[in-house]
Amino acid sequence: MEQLQKIGRELAMASSQGQSKEFQDLIKSIGEARSKSEEDRIILSEIETLKARITQPDIPKRKLKEFILRLVYIEMLGHDASFGYIHAVKMTHDENLSLKRTGYLAVTLFLNEDHDLIILIVNTIQKDLKSDNYLVVCAALNAVCRLINEETIPAVLPQVVELLSHGKEAVRKKAVMALHRFYQRAPSSVSHLVANFRKKLCDNDPGVMGATLCPLFDLITIDVTSYKDLVVSFVSILKQIAERRLPKSYDYHQMPAPFIQIKLLKILAVLGNGDKRASEQMYMIVGDIMKKCDSTSNIGNAVLYESICCATSIHPNSKLLGSAADAISKFLKSDSHNLKYLGIDTLGRLIKINPEIAEQHQLAVIDCLEDPDDTLKRKTFELLYKMTKSSNVEVIVDRMIDYMINISDNHYKTEIASRCVELAEQFAPSNQWFIQTMNKVFEHAGDLVNIKVAHNLMRLIAEGFGEDDADADSQLRSSAVESYLRIVGEPKLPSAFLQLICWVLGEYGTVDGKYSATYITGKLCDAAEAHATDDTVKAYAISALMKIYTFEIAAGRKVDMLPECQSFIEDLLASSSTDLQQRAYELQAVIGLDPQTVANVMPMDASCEDIEIDKSLAFLNGYVQEAFEKGAQPYIPESDRSGNGSVGHYRGQEQHEVSSHALRFEAYELPKPVVPTISTPVTVATSNELVPVPEPSYQTEVRRPVSSGHDLGSAELKLRLDGVQRKWGRSTYSSTTSSNSVSDYNKTQDGATLRDVVGSANSKSPGTVKQQQPEVPPEKQKLAASLFGGTLKSEKRAPSAATKGSKANIHAAEKFQIARANSADVTAIKTASQSLPDLLDLGEPSVSTRTETVDPFKQLEGLIDEDKTPAQGLEGVDVPKAPDVMSLYADLTPSSDTPFSTSEGLANAASQNGHGGNTKANTAHQMSKGPNLKDALEKDALARQVGVNPTIRNPNLFSDLLG
C-alpha cells in the first residue's frame, strides 16, 4: 500500500509539472475505455511506442524518468514491461536525487529477490547506504527491505547496523525495519543483533520505538521467557501514550497513536498469558484504555477490541473481565454488523474464562444467528461451537446442518461438516442420534466428509453401546438398517456414504429377520448399478452380497439369487479391475461350499473380533527347521555381516573426496558481530520522555487476580456495585449488567449478596422509573432455552431475606461499601450489634459497690457506647433509645470559661455533638469499625468545657488522652 501511494504521488507530480501531454492522454484514454479489450489495445500500443523510444540514444533524463513511470503504470495494469527493467536499474546509479528515487521505486516494483538483475544493484545499495544525504539512504533502505535475499544479506548487514545510530529518525526507523526483514528471511543471519531491538525500544523518537515493536513481537512470540523483563517498559510506554504524551502528529481520529497501542496490547497479551505476576502489572493500564477508548470511531473500537483480547489472554482479573463484558454488550447491541462481529468474537474469547457470560446475551446471539449477513452468521456458529455441551448439542448441530444445506461454498461446507462430526462424537446424547446426524452430514456434505468419519461410524455400529447390552446393540443396528434402506435409493449419494450403507446392509441387513435376503441383495445391486463408474462402491457391494449369501447358507436356507444380482456378478467376473474379479470369483467359490465350511469361513458378526498378530512368525518355525535340516544357511542381519564397516568407510571417504573438489555454493560469510552475543539487560529508563520509571501509585488499585476462571466466585475479590445500572440494551435485547454477573460472589455475613442489598435500595429509592420489559417471541424463548440450557433470564430477581430490611440498613450497607472501597482486601460485613470497645474504659476493675450519686461522665460514656450502635442493626436487632443529652446538663451552670453564654448555646453544642447531631457524620461514625479517637477527644473537650470533672476512679484520664 505504501508503495502504491508513492506511485500515485509520483504520477500526480508528473501530471502537475506538465512533463508530457502524452502521459496525460494515456491515463485519460485508459480511464475512458469501455471494455477490457479496448484497454488492452491501448496498453499494447503504448508498449510498442515505449520499446521504440526508450532504446534511443541520448534520451533526456527528464524524458527517461517519464518513460519509467509509464512502465510502472503498464505493470500496474497487469501487462509485461520487462524490456524496460534494465533502464530502471541504470537509473538507480544516477546522481540526481529525483531520478535515483524514481529508479529505486521502479526496481522495487519490477523485481523480486530472486531476479537476475538483483546482483547489479547490490553495489549501488552499498554505496547509497553510506551517503551523506539521508533521503538517498532512505531510498536504499526501502530497496533493501524489498530486494535483498538470504544470500546477499551479509553484503549490506554491517551498513544497516551502523545506520541504527544515524542522526535522522527516519533513517533509524527504516534500519530497524530492514533488520526485521532480515530476521524474517534468515533468522540466523541477525541472531547476534537481537539486542539492538531492545536498545531501540528506548529511542527518543516514537516512530523508531513503534517500528521496534514489530520485530520484538515476533521474538516474544517465539521465546516469551527471555522478554519478561520488558513488561514494565511496555506498560510504561502504553501508559504514556494513553496520557497523550506523544506529539499530536501521532493522533488518528483523536486517538493517541492507536496503531502503537494495538501492537503493545498484542505484546502484553503474549507476555501475560499464564503469568500471574506479569499480568498484575497490566491490569490497571488495560482497564484505563478500555475506559478511554472512543466507541464512536472505528479506530477507537479497534483499540477497545484489542484491549478485550488482551484482558481475556492474560491471567484473569474479575474487575477487568467485568469491564470487558460491558464493552462486549455495547458491541452486541450496536446496529453495525462490524461491531456485532467484534462482539461475537470477543464473547467467544470471554466464555472460555466464564461460560456464564454468554447466558446474559442470549437474545443477541440468537439475533446474530438469524441475521442475513453471512459473515456474522458464520462467526456466530463459531461461538456456538465453543459453547456446545451435552444439553444443547442437538439444537446447535441441527442449526449447523441446516446452514450447511443452504450454502454453496465447499470450503466452508467442509469446515461445518467437520465441526458437526466433532460435536456429535464428543457430546452425542445417544448412539441413535449420532447415526441420524451422520446420515444428514453424509447426505448433504457429500464427498467433502473425511472417509475416517465413515470408518468411525462403522466401528460404532459394530461395537454398539459397549455395555454388554445385546438388546440395545440389536436395536441400534436395526435402526441403522432401516434408515439406510430408506436412503439407499436416493440419487447423488456420496461414495463414502454408499460404502457405509453397503457395509451395514451386508453385516446386519438380515440379522433380525425383518427383511429377506432377496430384498437386501436387490437394494445392493441397484446401488451398484446406479454408480457403475465407482469401483470402490462395487467392491463394497459385492462383499455385502457375499456376506448375505453365506449367512443364508450357514443358516440352512436356500440361496435365491436374483437375475440382476447374477448379471452383476458376471459383469464383475469380466471386469478390468483385478480386485473386483477376485471378489466375484471368491463369491462363486464360497457359495458352492457346505454350510459348516461357510460358517467357519464367514462367521456372523465377526467384525469386532480381535485379530491376534504373531510378530515372531512362530507358525513358520517348522518350515525353517526343515530347511536347516536340508542344509540351508541361517539368516545373518545386515549389521552383523562381514565387510559392512569397511564398505561404509569407503563410501564416506569417496563422498568426502567428491565434496572437497566440487564447487561451493554457500552464501556470503557472516560478518563478525559488532556487539557481544550475550548482552546484559538494557535499562529501559534511559529515555526520560518515553520510558520513565512507573510511579508506585500506579499499582495501588490493582486487585488480586483470581487463579482461574472458576475461581471468580472467591470472596476476596469484590466489585463496587453502587450506582451500577442494572438494565441496558435495545428493545429486542435485554440482559443483566455484566459487572453484576462477574461479582455475584460478594456475600454478606447473613448469606445475602451485597448486590441484592444495593439493588433493593435502588428499586426502593424515590424517582426510579421502572422500565417496561420487552416482549420476547415464544420461538426465541424456546431457542434460548435449548441453546443456553434454561429459560430466558429475567431482569428482576426474587428478593432475598436480607433485602427486606429497612432503608437504614440499605444506606448503611452502601456507605460501608464506599468506606471500604480503597482497602486492599474487602472483608465481609460484621454484625452491627456486636459490642465495640469503649474508648474511656482503660481496663480497671469495676466497682462492686453501687453509689446513689449520678455520675454525668459515666452516663456520657454510655451515651458514646450507644451512639456507636445504630437504632436498628443490619440484622434487625432493636437497640434501646439513648438518653437525652440535655438531661445531663439541665441543673448545671456554665462556668466562666465556657464559650456558650446561654442555655441555647449549650443546646446547640449538644445537638451538634450528641445523639441527635449531624446525620451524615453520625452514620459514618456508626459504620466505622472500632472506636473513633477523634470523636472521643472532641466529646471529652466538650465535657471539660461544660464543667464535668473526672471522677476519682481515674484522676489522670485527660492527661493520658491529651498528653
DSSP-derived secondary structure for 298-364? HHHHHHHHHHHHHHHHSS--HHHHHHHHHHHHHHHT-S-HHHHHHHHHHHHHHTTT-GGGGGGGHHH
pLDDT above 90 covers a percentage of the chain that reads 29
**Same domain (yes/no): 653, 785:** no
Contact 667, 151 (CB under 8 A): yes
**Same domain (yes/no): 532, 477:** yes
Higher pLDDT, 543 or 9: 543
- Count CA atoms within 13 Å of residue 700 on its CB side: 7
**Same domain (yes/no): 825, 920:** yes
736 domain residue, yes or no = yes
pLDDT for residue 642: 58
96 domain residue, yes or no = no
d(CA 348, CA 422): 18
Question: Alpha-carbon torsion 27, 33, 36, 41, what sign?
Answer: negative
- Count CA atoms within 13 Å of residue 28 on its CB side: 7
Q: Which of 728, 763, 798 is the last residue of a domain?
A: 763
Q: Which of 716, 737, 763 is the last residue of a domain?
A: 763
pLDDT for residue 669: 61
**Same domain (yes/no): 928, 857:** yes
**Same domain (yes/no): 587, 677:** no
Mean pLDDT over residues 243-266, rounded?
94
pLDDT for residue 608: 65
Question: Alpha-carbon torsion 874, 875, 880, 881, what sign?
Answer: positive
At residue 708, does pLDDT exceed 50?
no
pLDDT band at 942 (very low <50, low <70, confident <90, very high): low
Encode pLDDT of 473-499 as tens digits: 888 888 888 888 888 888 788 888 889
Average pLDDT, the chain: 74
Encode pLDDT of 427-471 as tens digits: 888 877 888 888 889 888 878 888 888 888 888 888 876 666 777
At residue 709, does pLDDT exceed 80?
no
Encode pLDDT of 825-841 as tens digits: 434 334 334 444 444 44
**Same domain (yes/no): 921, 791:** yes
239 domain residue, yes or no = no
Encode pLDDT of 857-894 as tens digits: 455 444 444 444 443 433 333 444 444 444 444 444 44
**Same domain (yes/no): 781, 757:** no
Neighbours of 790 (CB within 10 A): 12
Higher pLDDT, 522 or 727: 522
50 domain residue, yes or no = no
Encode pLDDT of 545-580 as tens digits: 999 998 888 888 888 888 888 899 888 988 889 999
Burial readout 461-494 (b: 16 or more C-beta within 10 A, e: otherwise): bbebeeeeeeebbebbbeebbebbbeebeeeebb
**Same domain (yes/no): 442, 469:** yes
Among left, alpha and beta (phi > 0; psi -120 to 50; other), residue 160 is: alpha
pLDDT for residue 847: 41
How big is the CA angle at 356 (ends 352 and 360), to the nearest 5 degrees? 120
At residue 805, does pLDDT exceed 70?
no
Higher pLDDT, 219 or 957: 219
277 domain residue, yes or no = no
Higher pLDDT, 354 or 260: 260
396 domain residue, yes or no = yes
Mean pLDDT over residues 231-254, rounded?
93
The number of distinct structural domains making up the chain is 3
Listed range (364-368, 536-540, 607-611, 828-832) with the worst mean pLDDT: 828-832
**Same domain (yes/no): 834, 899:** yes
pLDDT for residue 789: 60
pLDDT band at 962 (very low <50, low <70, confident <90, very high): very low
d(CA 174, CA 210): 11
Mean pLDDT over residues 284-302, rounded?
92
Encode pLDDT of 174-229 as tens digits: 999 999 999 999 998 888 888 899 999 999 999 999 999 999 999 999 999 999 99
Mean pLDDT over residues 309-324, rounded?
92
628 domain residue, yes or no = yes
At residue 253, does pLDDT exceed 70?
yes
At residue 278, does pLDDT exceed 80?
yes
At residue 256, does pLDDT exceed 90?
yes
Contact 283, 705 (CB under 8 A): yes
**Same domain (yes/no): 846, 917:** yes
**Same domain (yes/no): 462, 504:** yes
pLDDT for residue 663: 62
Encode pLDDT of 104-149 as tens digits: 999 999 998 888 888 889 999 999 999 999 999 999 999 999 999 8
pLDDT for residue 452: 85
Mean pLDDT over residues 654-680, rounded?
53
27 domain residue, yes or no = no
pLDDT band at 283 (very low <50, low <70, confident <90, very high): very high
DSSP letter, residue 555? T
pLDDT for residue 493: 84
The phi, psi pair for 485, rounded to 5°, reads: -65, -30
Q: Which of 763, 794, 809 is the last residue of a domain?
A: 763
Count helices and strands (H / E) in the chain.
43, 2
pLDDT for residue 272: 93
Domain of residue 448: give its range: 388-593
**Same domain (yes/no): 573, 623:** no
d(CA 809, CA 803): 9
